[in-house]
Amino acid sequence: MLKQGVAAASRFSVADSRRWKAPFFTIWSGQALSILGSQLVQFSLIWYLTVETGSATVLATASLVGTLPQVLLGPFVGTLVDRWDRRRTMILADLSITAATVLLAVLFALDAASIWHIYVVMLIRSLSSSFHGNAMNASASLMVPIEHLTRIQGLNQMLNGGLNVLAAPLGAVLLGLLSLQGILAIDVCTAVLAVVPLLWISVPQPDRCQQAGHGKNQVSILWEDFRAGSRYLVSRRGLVIVGLMTVVINFTIIPAFSLLPLLVKTTFDGGAVQLGWVESAMGIGTIAGGLLLGVWGGFRQKILTSMMGLVGMGVGALTIALAPTSGLSMALGGVLLVGLMNSMTMGPFFAVIQSAVEPDMQARVLTLLSSVGGGMAPVGLMVAAPVAAHLGIQVWFLTAGTLCVLMGVSGCFVPALKRIEQGDRGTGSGAGAVT
């Protein structure tokens, strides 16, 4: 295993160049356009399912098929990303998403599309996005100087928020002007724009330890890499605690916001325009949070900034839960706060991972953490649908908000979380004791 100092030196040797901004932001801009296209499609498909079925179960299932690939295959995705050429991985992932989108557009044009077709396309897009997102995040630590990683994460949060602000109302407008296949065609065009820069810009690769035993087959090597990533994660108690927190968050928050379109339609008697307002509020909050993070930089201990953000997310979810049927503006305020605090939670956390975890382990650690938390999302979705049908969607927001507040407050006093930025392995024999 590479030592922390060696990993930092590897990042420095690549990212210290004064010319890092041009290649990184060229790729970053292409990805921004692609994300916009994807969000237009996501908004349109979810609203299509909401209008056509009005079913919490259908929306929960749509979220489920979009989550399962990352949960079941996430750890192996990270292992493969750490082994494969990251530029080619991003290209192939974008092309896979494009192919699935074209197929769905053809089905809608022929009036042959059904709900299960949408599920399949969502599944393919989810798996491909997992490869792409992990390859891009892991590459950033080698393309960007380490002292700028937190600011880049703040910029990413602003990007996500800005696209949410733009995509939701734009999606609502486009639904009134174009057929669904027309919106799918926009996504195809933006995906092509994302692939083009990757055809000629070099993406640095991490230094890898030479594999012992060249006679081993690739499955054995893949399994050994997976086990190495698992041992690395488990030996760091702070990361384990974060993983347990994500279990709870994903059990509650993901189902809650997956049912948000139905909440707008049934509780607040809104339509696509009102849903656009709600999603724009999330985007505006995310932009504000990313801007604040970029200017302020958070507390000296980044993980404390994340815990503060987690408390704020909980307060925002509670605000949504307590909004009366005539209180759409109150719910908008809650969504705005969730977006603001989401940036304050996730930005510092990703910066911690990128700066404290060795480059050749980052994709594995990120996907393992995502899978640990995401593994509860399908369970939460299956539980949320009947609970929402019988008790109301706001009850689920109430549960999610309460748990977020409790975890955020208690997390500020956990020593292992305070040491996470130093790559703390806890006490005892460390990684070598983990099997």
Work out the burial of residue 16: count CB atoms within 10 Å of its CB; fewer than 13 is exposed, 13-18 middle, 19 or more buried: exposed
CA pair distance 167, 276, nearest whole angstrom: 8
Alpha carbon distance 278, 329 (integer Å): 9
> Is residue 215 helix, strand or coil?
coil
Please report how the helices 56-83 and 377-391 are oriented relative to each other, as an axis angle in degrees rounded to 10: 170
**Cα 291 from Cα 384, distance rounded (Å):** 33
Comparing CA positions, the residue from 362, 364, 355, 368 lying closest to residue 302 is 355
Higher pLDDT, 145 or 46: 46
Q: How far apart are CA 255 and CA 383, in angstroms?
A: 9
CA angle 421, 32, 131 (to 5 degrees): 60
Rounded mean pLDDT, 413-430: 65
pLDDT per position as a tens digit, 43-102: 888 888 888 887 777 877 887 777 777 667 766 777 777 778 888 888 888 898 889 889
| pLDDT tens profile 234-286 | 888 887 888 788 788 878 887 888 788 888 888 888 887 888 788 788 878 88
Query: Is residue 337 pLDDT above 60, yes or no?
Result: yes
Q: ∠366-370-371 over CA atoms, to 5°?
A: 120
Fold adopted by 4-206+216-425:
Growth Hormone; Chain: A; (1.20.1250)
Query: Would you kindly state where each structural domain of the chain is located, as residue ranges?
Result: 4-206+216-425
pLDDT at 347: 78
Closest among 23, 56, 37 to 200, alpha carbons compared: 23
pTM listed for this prediction: 0.61
